[in-house]
Amino acid sequence: MPTECYRTAADRMRIIMQPISIVYEEPHFLVVNKPAALFSQAPVGIDSLQSRLASQLKHRDRHPGEPFVGLPHRLDRGTSGIMLIARNQRALKRFGEQFQSRKVIKHYLAVVEANVARRSAVGNPDSEKSTTNVARRSAVGIPIIKRSADILSEASEQRWEDYLRKIPDQPRAEVVTHDTAGAKLAVANVQFLQATSGLCLLCVQLETGRMHQIRIQAASRGLPVVGDASYGASLPWKTIDEITNAEPNAHPPVALHAWSLEFRHPQTAKALRFTAPVPTNWQQLPDEMLACFPLQSITIGEH
C-alpha cells in the first residue's frame, strides 16, 4: 500500500487499534464485521481478528483471564465481512459441525473486472481489451474457462462448478481436472447484480468453502476480483480505512466482502441470519452499482 497512508506514528497506532465492529452479541456467540487486510487468525505476536477481539473483550468486560474467542470459520486476509465467533467450547463444536455439514448459508459481494464498457463486443471474445486481460490472467497461471463477454451475455444467474487444488508450496489455488491429485469440487451460485464502467457487481452463494474459491473461480472466467493481483486483476482496490498493519507494504485488500451468514443457534436451533455492511471505501463505486446492494438485516426465526 502507498506509504502516504501512514503519515505519522499516531496514524499507524490509530489504524492498528481500530476496534472490531460487533454486529450482534449474546452469551454463546458474537457476529462481527472483519476489516479487510487483517488475518482471521495468526500466531502469537501477529495482529489478527482473533487476538484483537480477545483484547477488546478483555478490556471492555474487565475479564480477569483471556476471554474465549473461537473461530469455526475464517476469511482470507484481504476479504472483509461477516464472521461468526463462538464464546465457549460447546458453541464452537456445534458451529463447526454446521460448517462441516454445509448447513451454513454464506453470501458474498464481489466487484470484478468485466470489460463491460465494450458491451457492443459481447459474444466477440477477440476484442482488444478482452484479449489483453485474458493474456494477463493466463500469464499468472489461470486457465480461462470462458471469457467475461461470454459470461455476461448468457444469464444473470449461474452455477459455477470447478475442481480446485492448492498449489504446492504457494499461497494460491488453481483450477484443475477432477482426477488431479488433491482436487476438490468447488460450487458457487452467482448472481450478476450490476455492470457498469468496466466493473461488475456479483452476489455469490458458496456451497463449498475452498481456498480462495470465489477469487479463483471468477478469475478463471475472465472476471478477476478488483485488487486481486495474485489472480490477474489489473485494477487496484484503493483504501485507507481498512489497512491494519503498521508496515507501509501491508497486504492490500480486495473487493470481496462476506455479506451474510445463515446458521442455527447452538442452544435453541433457531434459524439466524445476519449481514455486515461493506467497508466505507466501497462508496467509491458508481452510484448505479451502489443502488443494487442488498439491504442489511438481522433475522431470528421461531424454530
Q: Which amino acid appears at position 70 of this protein?
A: G
Sign of the dihedral through C-alpha 65, 70, 76, 79:
negative
CA angle, 117 then 191 then 203, to 5°: 95
**H helical segments located in 21-77:** 49-61
**H helical segments located in the chain:** 9-16, 49-61, 89-100, 128-139, 148-154, 213-219, 287-290
Rounded to two decimals, what is the model's pTM?
0.81
Is the pLDDT score of 233 beyond 80? Answer: yes
Q: What is the DSSP letter of 208?
A: S
Q: If you average pLDDT over residues 217-231, what whole number do you get?
A: 95
C-alpha cell at 180: 488431479
Percent of the chain predicted with pLDDT > 90: 62
Q: What is the DSSP letter of 225?
A: B
Q: In whole angstroms, give the CA distance from residue 225 to residue 199.
A: 9
C-alpha cell at 296: 442489511
pLDDT tens by residue, 99-145: 999 999 999 999 999 864 333 222 233 334 444 454 444 444 565 55
pLDDT tens by residue, 162-216: 999 999 999 899 999 999 999 999 999 999 999 988 999 999 999 999 999 999 9
Q: Count of residues for the chain?
A: 303
Q: What is residue 115's predicted lDDT score, i.e. its pLDDT? A: 65
C-alpha cell at 5: 497512508
Q: What is the DSSP letter of 214?
A: H
Q: How many CB atoms lie within 10 A of CB 50?
A: 20
C-alpha cell at 257: 466482502
C-alpha cell at 224: 478477476
